[in-house]
Amino acid sequence: MSDTGKQMMSPAMAAERVAAGLAARRGREKRFRIYGRIAIGIALAFLVTLFVSIFSKGIPGFFQHYVTIEVALDRAKLDPAGDLSVQSLYDGDARGVIRTALYEAAGASGRSGRKAAGKIISQGAEQRLRNAILDDPSILGTTRAMTFAVDDDVDSFLRGFIKRETPEKDRRINDKMIGYIDVLNDKGLISFRFSDYLVFGSASRNAEMAGIYGALVGSILTLAVCLVLSFPLGVATAVYLEEFAPKNRVTEIIEININNLAAVPSVVFGILGLAVFIGTFGMPRSIPLIGGVVLALMTLPTIIISSRAAIRAVPPSIRDAALGVGASRMQTMLHHVVPLAMPGMLTGTIIGMAQALGETAPLLMIGMVAFIVDVPGSVTDPGTVLPVQIFMWADFAERMFILKTSAAIMVLLAFLILMNAAAIVIRKKLERRW
Amino acid sequence: MRFTFALAGAVALVGVTTAASARDYISIAGSSTVLPFATIVAEQLGNNPSFKTPVVESGGSSVGKKGVCEGIGTEFIDIGNASSRMKTGELEYCDGNGVDLTEIKVGYDGIVVANSKDGVPLVISKADLGMALTAMVPACADGSTNVNCTDMVPNPFKKWSDINADYPDVEIRVYGPPTTSGTRASFAEMVNEKGYCKKDEMAKAALKAAGAKAKTCRAMRTDGAYVEAGEQDNLIVQKLQEDPSAYGIFGFSYLDQNSDTLHGAVIDGTNPTFDEIAEGSYSVSRSLYFYVKHAHVGVVPGIAEYMAEWVKHWGEDGALSDAGMIPMPEAERAQYAAAMKDLPKLTADMLK
């Protein structure tokens, strides 16, 4: 079409030429649309596969098998010191009391029979019994039906993962145990119900006792520290850079560096945390306080960038009007610009927090990728976070951990979706258009 | 108002920082092979209301050995786990920092080669297994003539049956851990180096001619016969269950947990079973250790009790053997139980 500039085409010729090219142009557009659809289709297929595989394993992970037995709560055996203290209950023979009840229910006798039957019940049963007594000491001296989790191997058997047909030597549970499980099952003592361990339990090497509570508390504490540090700092930085800082070489360099910082791999912040907080300040490892600080460094650029965009979106007429009626620049900022920019700032903050919730790499360096059983009570107690818990569980050999891993992934996904949904709601509700 | 909030946050931060100086829980780090067992013991100690549950970090044997040597003080770990013994160089680092250690061996871990029960079981000698997986072999290892036998060439074997007609007529494809793994390092040392390169006459001659050390045999094949499948042994197990023609290398505990779907390769005539590894007749196994820092015993509460928990559970019927750790013989257990009380200082002579 380079010759069109020199010679004027007649309208008829031009129309003809356009008509000739039209089919090709439309075809190009159509093809592009098809490519787009295929790409989206592939992405959706992957997403569906991911969800199906997580949900098919994760939903059963929310449930597990329990056995209900009649336990005679003999005070002399359970509370030898007689003062109901934690130590006295620990010294008591909770294990023996539970075993006796179990042998009776399953009809186990003889040394090997008792040994086999004993393996049916989770090791966590003793702790559960002690907790029940601490909650209500009046149950001592009575006989009552109590429900305990079964061992993870027994659970796998009841789910059908370990098959009866498999030769005995290749199974993790022997024929004797299967016999007792059948006895308990026939009596209707075994139930499949919602796993309270998953929600209220902490990390454990016994798959049936493992839960996300400790990691969830750790995540909340870490994110709280992260939010307290990064939100005010991020907003203040954005306000200063956008409204007060002189536009010169120095602020330009700072700006470029903030943008670069947003792209730095997160593990680098972990190394920084290790060197500065643990190395220089000598703070203990594995604590949510340092985890939060490190994650705050990581989320700061996200918050600053989105806050600046939000401030820039506030029309200058607002500022002019405020200044016109005699407000100082500080008042203009705090009374008018920042409140109007707040929805955008909050959106950025929530997305930054959601990112921080899913991080493990920076926490590796500061010792939060660890097996931590005790639930952290404050930001200076050792704690871990949800994604780390998932990572650790995925590596354990016991089969039940696969289910629990998927269940924990579902919980993490639920939190992420919740946070992102909150960001959308805030934006929709509070956003103002000019 | 927002700025006062920030200020309050900063003040609170300084406040808790000063409060968090003393540590009342044991801090442990190191080998991911020891971690599943150390966590069982840690959890048992945590059940005792007098003590907090120790924090067990992963990171690898080198992290455990180096971490425990870094210095004295609560910001450093108390105990380092390792699936390989400390070397004299690592001990020197310790001495340089003024750290005294005691070495405690806790048990053994077998490394198995396994495949799906739907596949052909592998019955192989250690030398042939090494020959199948090491990157470079002598040119005439596959029986070819007209070549210089002392030349090292890239591993030519495609199928197991190429090595020996008795072996399965299946392509060599072995999933295993990446270079960062201690399991891989031990396997390469025990099978490739000691099992093959130091035993096979042809390989010895070729290495001598090239002036290379047997250590060079530790390199695994990179032509697709050995596939790095990531640090997660569960992933390898899953792949084997899906693909009966593939084999995998991992710790015994994973075979133990999946004994209904996988079977272990018979190496040098021994099956990788609990008893065979415990007796020492299954040769691809290694010792698991932890190193405890003297200066922290009695300062950080519970270290002596933590060690005592190991003694309670490391026997044949204990929780640890249930999880797949191979117990030490009676005499050795008594020896290390005594070492936990006496805390003999680890010296370079002891490591020779």
Q: What is the DSSP letter of B53?
A: P
Q: For residues A148 and A253, state if they share a domain.
A: no
Identify from B34, B41, B51, B53 which residue to disrupt to test chain A contact, counting A C-beta atoms within 10 A and taking the largest count: B53
Which residue in the set B48, B59, B75 is minimally distant from A282, CB to CB?
Answer: B75
Task: Give B158's contacts (C-beta < 8 A, 6+ positions apart).
Answer: B171, B172, B225
CATH superfamily for B23-109+286-351 is Periplasmic binding protein-like II (3.40.190.10)
Helix (H) or strand (E) holding A192: strand A190-194
Q: For residues A170 and A238, state if they share a domain.
A: no
Residue B135: CA atoms inside 13 Å, Cβ hemisphere, count? 12
Domains B23-109+286-351 and B120-243 are alike in CATH topology: yes
Q: For residues A239 and A288, state if they share a domain.
A: yes
Total domain count for chain A? 3
Q: For residues A226 and A298, state if they share a domain.
A: yes
Which chain B residues contact residue A170 at CB under 8 A? Answer: 259-260
Quick check: B110 contacting A, CB < 8 Å? no
Q: What's the CATH number where A298 sits?
A: 1.10.3720.10
Q: For residues A42 and A67, state if they share a domain.
A: no
Give the mean pLDDT of A82-93. Answer: 87
Q: What is the DSSP letter of B270?
A: B
Q: For residues A68 and A47, state if they share a domain.
A: no
Q: For residues A325 and A226, state if they share a domain.
A: yes
- Residue A370 domain flag: yes
Q: B70: which 2 tokens?
A: 């870094």
Kindly provide the ipTM of the predicted complex, given to two decimals. Answer: 0.80
Which residue in the set B46, B58, B73 is minimally distant from A369, CB to CB?
Answer: B58
Do residues A361 and A270 make contact, with C-beta atoms less than 8 angstroms apart?
A: yes
What's the first-to-final CA gap in chain A, in angstroms?
43
- Residue A199 domain flag: no
- Residue A204 domain flag: no
Of A163, A194, A225, the residue that ends a domain is A194
* Residue B16 binned pLDDT confidence (cut-offs 50, 70, 90): very low
Domain ranges of chain B: 23-109+286-351, 120-243
Which chain A residues contact residue B40 at CB under 8 A? Answer: 205
- Residue A205 domain flag: no
Q: What is the DSSP letter of B266?
A: E
User: What is the DSSP annotation of B193-247?
Assistant: IIIIITT-HHHHHHHHHHT--GGGGGPBP-SSSEEE--S-HHHHHHHHHH-TT-E
Phi and psi of B270, rounded to 5°?
-115, 140
Alpha-carbon gap: A17 to the closest alpha carbon of chain B (Å): 57
Give CA B281 to chain center in angstroms.
19
Q: For residues A322 and A399, state if they share a domain.
A: yes
Q: Choose among A312, A386, A303: nearest CA to A347.
A: A303
Which chain B residues contact residue A126 at CB under 8 A? Answer: 47
Q: For residues A300 and A369, state if they share a domain.
A: yes
Quick check: B300 contacting A, CB < 8 Å? no
- Residue A166 domain flag: yes
* Residue B10 binned pLDDT confidence (cut-offs 50, 70, 90): low
At residue B20, the pLDDT reads 41
Do residues A93 and A57 make contact, with C-beta atoms less than 8 angstroms apart?
A: no
How far is the C-alpha of B122 from the C-alpha of B90, rounded, in Å? 38
User: What is the DSSP annotation of B169-195?
Assistant: SSB--EEE--TT-HHHHHHIIIIIIII
Tell me the fold of B120-243.
D-Maltodextrin-Binding Protein; domain 2 (3.40.190)
Evaluate if residue B2 carries a pLDDT over 70: no
Q: Quick one: CA torsion of A70, A75, A80, A83, rounded to 10 degrees?
A: 120
- Residue A207 domain flag: no
* pLDDT > 90 fraction of chain A, expressed in percent and rounded: 55
Q: For residues A254 and A346, state if they share a domain.
A: yes
Query: Mean pLDDT across chain B, nearest whole number?
Result: 87
Q: For residues A359 and A304, state if they share a domain.
A: yes
Which chain B residues contact residue A367 at CB under 8 A? Answer: 27, 29, 55, 57
What pTM value is reported for the model?
0.83
Phi and psi of B251, rounded to 5°?
-70, 155
Digit-coded pLDDT (tens) for A166-191: 888 888 888 989 999 999 999 999 99
* Residue B9 binned pLDDT confidence (cut-offs 50, 70, 90): low
* Residue A434 binned pLDDT confidence (cut-offs 50, 70, 90): low
Evaluate if residue B13 carries a pLDDT over 70: no
Range of the domain at A174: 63-194
Which chain B residues contact residue A369 at CB under 8 A? Answer: 57-59
- Residue A202 domain flag: no
Alpha-carbon gap: B219 to the closest alpha carbon of chain A (Å): 25
Q: For residues A138 and A190, state if they share a domain.
A: yes
Quick check: B309 contacting A, CB < 8 Å? no
Orientation of helix A386-395 relative to helix B233-242, angle to 10°: 50
Digit-coded pLDDT (tens) for B245-300: 999 999 898 898 888 889 999 999 999 998 888 888 898 988 999 999 999 998 99
Give the mean pLDDT of A120-130. Answer: 89
